[in-house]
Amino acid sequence: MSIYAQLQQTMDDMIDADRGILAADESTSTITKRLSAIGVESTAENRRWYRSMLLSTPDLGRYLCGVIFYEETLNQKDENGMLLPELASSQGIIPGIKVDKGKGDLPGAPGDMITYGLDGLAERLKGYRDQGARFAKWREVYPITPHNPTLLGLTANAETLARYAAVCQSCGIVPIVEPEVLIDGDHSIERSAEVNEQVWHSVFHALHQHGVRLEHMILKPSMVTAGKEADTLSPEEVADATIRILRRTVPAAVPSINFLSGGQTPEEATANLNALNRHPATTPWHLSMSYGRALQEPAMKAWSGDSDKREEAQAALLKRARLNSLARRGEYSPELEKEA
């Protein structure tokens, strides 16, 4: 199968009108913090059990088309000895892999950051592909301050995302491009819209320069919201601002926009996704989700390290996945939260 055919097959398998992506790519340090919050020690066995529990949830493939793994997960197995990527595939959920190596300060641009990991990426991708991964994800982060992001920050981060995406496609791996505009601060939704427009414009300019096929990528952006210390906005206000900036910056050739939840509660993330899909403006993209905590948090709390609560935790995950599937069609309502 040609590289083009591989990419197209993955896109065909991942994009439809109902399903989204589970981000289960927490680094060891991140998942350690989340497990500690529920009183669970972050051992390799506990991490393996938890991820296996999520992926073995009955009917999960009805609502999820893909799952992003952390590198550790590719070699982990369930209780029956099945590799977790194979467990996901058995439900029709395509395995993917986070490939960036974390972030640090960007020299010459105080307050901005840059993500590491381009060195040796092609070789790593070939290994991940042999382990079952068919798509990848790379995250760049953009803080909002009166001075950030700087022009250098915008340019350097966009260049990194484009180089990553081009390498992925050359290896037959579909890239998820994640430019996350952080919600830390008290900035207004107008300031957020301004920054997101700058970010998305710079990213697609760089993708064009590097010859990335837009038909064979997925965009994972932030929703346009105010800072978390500012006043709370309605889902309709978030949808209005987000759709307006998307229409200005994202080419129609991109098949799917899978939003990150970015610090929203599970209920907020679902309500905002629903408002996006109910928005009256015509859009050419699938508007879906690639949520991490907003999908996992209820399941993790229900489990709390007690293996006897496996079914309860799985039910919590399935409920959130189902409600987000309804939000994809604009059919969610807060009253559904009360249902089992």
Catalytic positions, written as ranges? 178, 220
Phi then psi for 53, rounded to 5 degrees? Answer: -60, -45
CA distance 184 to 207: 27
Beta strands in the chain (DSSP E): 20-24, 64-69, 94-98, 103-105, 113-115, 135-142, 174-181, 218-219, 256-259, 286-291
Beta-sheet pairing, 64-69 with 94-98: parallel
Structure tokens at 205: 């300019």
Domains within the chain, CATH numbers bracketed: 3-328 (3.20.20.70)
- Please report the pLDDT score of residue 340 as a whole number: 67
Closest CA relative to residue 57, chosen from 73, 78, 29: 78
Tell me, what's the pLDDT at 1?
80
Report whether 182 contacts 141 (CB < 8 A). yes
Q: Per-residue confidence of the chain (340 residues) as pLDDT tens digits?
A: 899 999 999 999 999 999 999 999 999 999 999 999 999 999 999 999 999 999 999 999 999 999 999 999 999 999 999 999 999 999 999 999 999 999 999 999 999 999 999 999 999 999 999 999 999 999 999 999 999 999 999 999 999 999 999 999 999 999 999 999 999 999 999 999 999 999 999 999 999 999 999 999 999 999 999 999 998 899 999 999 999 999 999 999 999 999 999 889 999 999 999 999 999 999 999 999 999 999 999 999 999 999 999 999 999 999 999 999 999 999 999 999 988 6
3-state secondary structure 214-230: HHHCEECCCCCCCCCCC
Report the alpha-carbon distance of residue 217 to residue 7 in Å, rounded.
9
CA-CA distance, 82 to 100, in Å (whole number)? 26
